[in-house]
Amino acid sequence: MKYLLDTDTLIYWLKGDRNIDSKIQENDSSNLHISVISLAELYYGAYKSAKVQANLKNIEKIKNRFLILKIDEKIVEEFGRIKSDLHRKGIPVGDFDILIASIARISNFKLITNNIDHYSRIGTLKIGNWREA
């Protein structure tokens, strides 16, 4: 199975979460992906932090470890589909999270996140939590 690691999972991994690290070690690197959206969120966090250089080094570690998925036309169409469906239902989900979910759905990857309740609002999305492994 192929996995898309959500931003929160990456942050927990960087902070030394053993369950996440164990799951990462168990999987072939070709099955582990991050989105360019998570990369943007990580850069934002790094530049607003008190430890900019240390956090930028952590981002390099992530970039060297995981395959980065970019956004294409299929993904932005899926974003529009998901966002309009959530809007009709009155269910709030942030745009970045909808984009991450769109990447996971279009790629047919399981999204690994600690925000299960949050992402479960988006139907037909395969999700898992490696902190509880």
Q: How far apart are CA 92 and CA 102, in angstroms?
A: 15
Would you say residue 133 has pLDDT above 80?
A: no
Would you say residue 28 has pLDDT above 80?
A: yes
Would you place residue 123 in the very low, low, confident or very high pLDDT band (cuts 50, 70, 90)?
Answer: confident
| Tens of pLDDT, residues 7-17 | 999 999 999 99
Q: Which CATH number do you get for residue 21?
A: 3.40.50.1010
Domain count, the chain: 1
CB neighbour class for 13 (10 Å; exposed up to 12, middle 13-18, buried from 19): buried
The residue range of the domain holding 108 is 3-132
| Tens of pLDDT, residues 41-79 | 999 999 999 999 999 999 999 999 999 999 999 999 999
Q: Residues 95-113: what's their mean pLDDT?
A: 97
Q: What percent of the chain has pLDDT over 70?
A: 99
Amino acid residing at 18: R
